[in-house]
């Protein structure tokens, strides 16, 4: 990528977004922008970690944009070359539609959308076959089981590819499993809170298999998709499933003083 590219990251203050900003700055990108729907500025405590990153002073610009408000998205996207769409919100479809439309209007070259394994795995019809990028969650099943997160991620990703087909916008998507790892931001996000549950026993954990992926692997995958022109379509980003009881064992060996879930 040329050193004059301007990259925008939505949801930059979040768990995945913060690591992506860190990696982009570390990789020496020329300049990048990020956004927030509230008061995003260097003095905003919630996002102070971004302004403190190496290179942020020279190459990071912070924007405020509500992704549910098309005009604010269009204003924020104007002048950018490429987009990482990382935000998380219940009505993901509206936010994604707004970003896609603004990208087309602004003639953005490529948009990398963070979808989720939730848009892949809710599909009993798939049977015994190993799930891969060809597998889509069943929207009717998500709806009838009131699995709103999976439904919104699936619909948002389907919409991203439908928009790409209609307009020719270069869209690639990443479907990570449960993302864990060190936090750059000060607020505990939803996926990191799952690990806290292992300590408090709020969820049944014994024997259950979970798919995890490290946040640094997720951001590396996003950068690879961004930098590889021939990358197209969707990419699953996951490691081997781990038994939750084994994860707890590991946590105990690192932090023996905590109490852990036993049921
Ligand atoms: N973490 C996981 O395990 C996981 C797994 C698979 C896929 N994903 C996907 O990865 C993406 C990032 O997840 P994350 O864990 O990093 O989430 P996160 O820490 O909760 O961050 C979400 C970000 O989106 C912003 N946002 C939410 N609604 C917005 C709106 N209307 N306008 C502008 N910004 C808005 C949030 O800003 P505020 O803080 O101001 O609300 C925050 O910066 C999401 O698309 C998620 O579905 C995550």
Ligand 1 centroid to Cα of residue 85, in Å, is 9
- Ligand 1 binding residues, C-beta < 6 A: 11, 13-17, 36-38, 65-68, 86-89, 95, 114, 116, 153, 176, 178-179, 189, 191
Rounded CA gap, 142 and 148, in Å?
7
Which residue, among 80, 75, 66, has the nearest Cα to 29 in the 3D structure?
80
Residue pLDDT, tens place only, 174-207: 999 999 999 999 989 989 988 887 777 656 565 5
The domain defined by 6-180+212-239 folds into Rossmann fold (3.40.50)
In this structure, how many other beta carbons lie within 10 angstroms of the beta carbon of residue 223? 18
Round the average pLDDT of the chain to a whole number and report it. Answer: 86
In this structure, how many other beta carbons lie within 10 angstroms of the beta carbon of residue 205? 20
Measure the CA dihedral 126/132/136/142, to 10°.
Answer: 70
pLDDT of residue 65: 82
Rounded CA gap, 60 and 56, in Å?
5
Mutate which of 12, 87, 89, 237 for ligand 1? The one with the most ligand atoms within 8 Å of its CB, which is: 87
Structure tokens at 49: 């970690």
Residue with structure tokens 């990789």?
27
Mutate which of 13, 14, 120 for ligand 1? The one with the most ligand atoms within 8 Å of its CB, which is: 14
Ligand 1 centroid to Cα of residue 185, in Å, is 12
**Region for residue 233 given its phi and psi (left: phi exceeds 0; alpha: psi -120 to 50; beta: otherwise):** left
pLDDT of residue 225: 96
Residue pLDDT, tens place only, 48-59: 899 899 988 888
Q: Contact 177/237 with Cβ under 8 angstroms? A: yes
Ligand 1 centroid to Cα of residue 250, in Å, is 27
Active site residue 109: no
pLDDT of residue 34: 54
Ligand 1, atom 44: closest residue by C-alpha: 88
Pure H helices in 84-213: 92-105, 118-121, 139-144, 148-167, 190-200
Active-site pick, 109, 153, 165, 259 = 153
3 state SS of 56: helix
For 136, residues 6+ apart whose C-beta sits below 8 A from its C-beta are 119, 120, 123, 154, 158
Query: What atom of ligand 1 comes closest to residue 85's alpha carbon?
Result: 45
Q: What is the mean pLDDT of residues 85-106?
A: 86
The pLDDT-based confidence of 23 (bands split at 50, 70, 90) is very high
The pLDDT-based confidence of 30 (bands split at 50, 70, 90) is very low
Q: Contact 225/174 with Cβ under 8 angstroms? A: yes
């Amino acid at each position: 990528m040329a050193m004059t590219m301007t990259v925008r990251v939505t949801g930059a203050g979040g768990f995945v977004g913060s690591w992506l900003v860190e990696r982009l700055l570390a990789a020496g990108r020329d300049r990048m922008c990020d956004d927030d729907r509230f008061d995003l500025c260097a003095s905003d405590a919630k996002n102070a970690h971004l302004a403190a990153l190496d290179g942020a002073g020279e190459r990071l610009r912070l924007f405020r944009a509500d992704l549910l408000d098309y005009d604010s998205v269009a204003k924020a996207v104007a002048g950018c070359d490429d987009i990482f769409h990382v935000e998380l919100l219940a009505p993901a479809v509206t936010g994604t539609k707004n970003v896609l439309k603004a990208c087309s209007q602004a003639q953005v070259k490529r948009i990398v959308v963070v979808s989720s394994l939730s848009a892949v795995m809710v599909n009993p019809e798939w049977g015994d076959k190993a799930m891969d990028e060809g597998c889509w969650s069943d929207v009717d099943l998500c709806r009838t089981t009131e699995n709103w997160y999976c439904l919104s991620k699936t619909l948002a990703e389907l919409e991203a590819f439908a928009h790409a087909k209609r307009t020719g916008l270069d869209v690639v998507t990443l479907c990570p499993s449960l993302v864990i790892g060190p936090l750059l931001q000060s607020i505990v996000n939803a996926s990191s809170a799952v690990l806290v549950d292992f300590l408090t026993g709020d969820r049944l954990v014994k024997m259950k298999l979970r798919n995890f992926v490290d946040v640094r692997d997720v951001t590396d995958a996003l950068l690879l998709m961004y930098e590889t022109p021939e990358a197209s379509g969707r990419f699953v980003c996951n490691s081997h499933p781990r038994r939750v009881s084994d994860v707890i064992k590991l946590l105990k060996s690192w932090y023996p003083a905590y109490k852990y879930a036993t049921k």
